[in-house]
Amino acid sequence: MKYGSFIILLFISLYAKSNIRLPDVINNNMVLQQQSEVKLWGWGEPNEKVAVTTSWDNKTYAPVTVSGNAEWELKIKTPAAGGPYKITLAANNKILLSNVMIGEVWVCSGQSNMEMCGNWGLQDIKQELPVANHADIRFFKIAKATASFPQKNCTGNWDICDSNTLKEFSAVAYFFGKHLQQKMNVPIGLIEAAWGGTSAEVWTPDSIIQRDTFLQQASAKIAANGQCPNLPGYAYNAMIAPITNFSVAGTIWYQGENNTINAYAYKHLFTSMIDAWRRRWNNNMPFYFVQIAPFSYALKNTGALLREAQSETSNYTNVGMVVINDLVSDVHNVHPSDKHNVGLRLANWALGDHYNISGTVYKSPVLKDFHINQNKIIITIDNAPNGLKLKGKKATGLFVAGADSIFYPAEVVIKKNILEVWSKKVSKPIAARYCFSDTATGNIFSEEELPLAPFRTDKWPVKAE
């Protein structure tokens, strides 16, 4: 090559503009949150102009300039649910996003019970596969990854729900999204960020834990297991932080089994995590979670204490808890096979609580208050507008104790939403417990067929042992 030609090529290469690029979550087949101001963002050559045109209104937004950090961002307004639409991004290069839907977008996160999919052999999903072609349900599954600081991109693709893509996507998330789509008749976007065996610490920004001595000490109890990260923030940085610019309606969460080792800290940890996510999304979004199922843990009381922490968290702002102690057939399997009803109950929380669709039954009955009347404990239950019922002749998992703290199986009479509880072995009862153990499943339900949440009326110390 001649020297002059080399100089010309070098000059061109120095001043040529690079193409704008998008994060994986902004792509063909995606669902954008309806009737919102949503962000589009990416990277490009500093000082390059990026313009966006949306096909639903044929509007071209004023160009934005790529920053000196090679980043750009702009906001567009989305219409009511519908599609498919196109979005054109024009700079040095042109990007055409096609088959874009406008609807409701939900993050679906947690550990293995959220991650479980058809490839795990779930019968619920096998039955769905022949009829799983839902063009209005879209999946974005985030590949497992870790990072020591927040990332700006994650690996994934937007896929249309069909018999092939469903096999690899969260069963709980699918049934949640399917029920929403059927009831609301709008496109549903589901973003899966789940990793079996993870504790809540790895989904919480490290900065939250490092400035809290209590959480630091509790986090130190989470041991490495070779199957997933155990360091605070490592999954959050790689799998949550990259999507916090993407507008969503809310989050569903199924996790807790791997925090039984430090259940005493879970309420503080979990609410701190929820707050951190909401701050990053700048959205007080609803957060609906699944109370862990009965399971025989190596240390007694660990499951009961974690469920109690979850019950206490359920009173947090804009949070809802799904109770599933009735959906377990084997307390020696930490992965209950019924994912259909779990997803359905989560969806009903969203429909009734977030979308305010009347007639939706979604709240499990929970302890409200109690008092002692001679040899009985009178317990008032909330969220049972039509009363409670007992499935069977005797209540299972129900106990009372006197001043000696020894619990005996209890008798019960149900009067609408009132439980009258007693035992012939306890003349002066002080406390009552219902399904406050690792494996109790219980048999008290609301008339709407939702299980009574585990509870105890005492505050006596309980240790994992």
In the prediction, which pLDDT does 406 show?
Answer: 97
Please report the pLDDT score of residue 465 as a whole number. Answer: 82
User: Torsions phi, psi of 429, nearest 5?
Assistant: -70, 145
- Nearest in space to 308 (alpha carbons), one of 355, 259, 344: 259
The answer as to whether 361 is a domain residue is no
Q: Note the pLDDT of residue 236.
A: 98
pLDDT for 75-111, tens place per residue?
999 999 999 999 999 999 999 999 999 999 999 999 9
pLDDT at 248: 98
Query: What's the domain count of the chain?
Result: 3
How confident is the model over 189-224, as pLDDT tens digits? 999 999 999 999 999 999 999 999 999 999 999 999
Last residue of a domain, one of 322, 354, 386: 354
Of 334, 354, 374, the one marking the end of a domain is: 354
Token pair listed for 296: 């025989």
Residue 13: is its pLDDT beyond 50? Answer: no
Of 342, 248, 240, 335, the C-alpha closest to 289 is: 342
Instruction: Confirm if 451 and 319 have CB atoms less than 8 A apart.
Output: no
CB atoms within 10 A of CB 421: 25
- Residue 441 belongs to what domain range? 366-456
Tokens 């709008």, located at residue: 186
CATH classification at residue 11: 2.60.40.10
Q: Calculate what percentage of the chain has a pLDDT beyond 90.
A: 95
User: Could you tell me if 95 and 112 lie in one domain?
Assistant: no
- Per 3-state DSSP, the chain is made up of helix, strand and coil in percentages (nearest 5) of 25, 30, 45
Q: Is 451 helix (H, G, I), strand (E, B) or coil?
A: strand
Range 397-404 average pLDDT: 97
Distances (CA, A) of 64 to 68, 90, 96: 13, 11, 17
Alpha carbon distances (Å) from 295 to 91, 172, 299, 309, 440:
56, 19, 11, 16, 8
Tokens of 411: 């008798």
Read off the CATH number of the domain in which 231 is found: 3.40.50.1110
pLDDT tens per residue across span 306-356: 999 999 999 999 999 999 999 998 999 999 999 999 999 999 999 999 999
Q: Where are the alpha helices (DSSP H) in 133-265?
A: 171-184, 206-210, 213-219, 234-235
Mean pLDDT across 276-298? 97
Q: How far apart are CA 315 and CA 308, in angstroms?
A: 12
Compute the mean pLDDT over every residue in the chain, rounded to the nearest whole number. Answer: 95
Cis bond leading into 205, ω under 30°? Answer: no
**Does residue 46 sit within a domain?**
yes
Instruction: Specify burial of residue 39 (Cβ count, 10 A radius: 0-12, 13-18, 19+).
Output: middle
The reported pTM is 0.95
90 lies in the same domain as 71:
yes
Considering only the C-alpha atoms of the chain, give the largest distance between any 2 of them, rounded to a whole number of Å. 105
Label residue 11 by pLDDT band (50, 70, 90). very low
Mean pLDDT value of segment 224-235: 96
288/320 Cα distance (integer angstroms): 5
Same domain assignment for residues 96 and 107: no
Check whether residue 301 and residue 434 sit in a common domain: no
* CA angle in degrees (0–180, nearest 5) for 247-23-166: 75
When computed from its CA atoms, the radius of gyration of the chain, rounded to whole angstroms, is 26
Residues 159 and 297 in one domain: yes
Query: Is residue 221 a contact partner of residue 135, using CB atoms and an 8 Å limit?
Result: no
59 in Cβ contact with 18 (< 8 Å): no
The answer as to whether 465 is a domain residue is no
pLDDT band at 360 (very low <50, low <70, confident <90, very high): very high
Residues 72 and 121 in one domain: no
Q: Which amino acid, residue 59?
A: K
> What are the tens digits of pLDDT across the range 131-146?
999 999 999 999 999 9
Q: Are residues 92 and 108 in the same domain?
A: no
Asked if residue 395 is part of any domain, the answer here is yes
pLDDT band at 18 (very low <50, low <70, confident <90, very high): confident
Q: Which residue, 78, 101, 124, sits at the end of a domain?
A: 101
Do 304 and 378 lie in one domain? The reply is no
- For 23-41, how does the pLDDT look when each residue is reduced to its tens digit (9 = 90+)? 999 999 999 999 999 999 9
Say if residue 203 is in the same domain as residue 285: yes
How sure is the predictor about 464, in pLDDT bands with cuts at 50, 70 and 90?
A: confident
Instruction: Give me the pLDDT at residue 382, please.
Output: 98
pLDDT, tens only, 252-280: 999 999 999 999 999 999 999 999 999 99
Please check whether residues 91 and 123 belong to one and the same domain.
Answer: no
Q: Measured between alpha carbons, how far is 444 from 217 in angstroms, rounded to an integer?
A: 38
Inter-residue contact 288 to 149 (CB < 8 Å): no
Share of the chain above pLDDT 70, in %: 96
Name the pLDDT band for 10 (thresholds 50, 70, 90): very low
Report whether pLDDT(188) > 60.
Answer: yes
Residue 37: its pLDDT value, please?
97
CA-to-CA separations, 148 to 145, 186, 234, 239, in angstroms, rounded? 11, 38, 6, 12
Residue 6 has pLDDT above 90, yes or no: no
pLDDT band at 16 (very low <50, low <70, confident <90, very high): low
CA atoms of 448 and 303, how far apart (whole Å): 26
- 261/180 same-domain check: yes
Side-chain half-sphere of 389: how many Cα atoms within 13 Å?
8
In a domain, 195, yes or no: yes
Residue of 304, 383, 320 whose CA lies nearest to 353: 320
Residue 11: inside a domain: yes
Does residue 359 sit within a domain? Answer: no
The pLDDT value recorded for residue 12 is 40
pLDDT (tens digit per residue) in 107-123: 999 999 999 999 999 99
Question: Does one domain contain both 271 and 315?
Answer: yes
Confidence of residue 17 (pLDDT cuts 50, 70, 90): low
Residue 415 domain flag: yes
DSSP assignment, residue 292? P
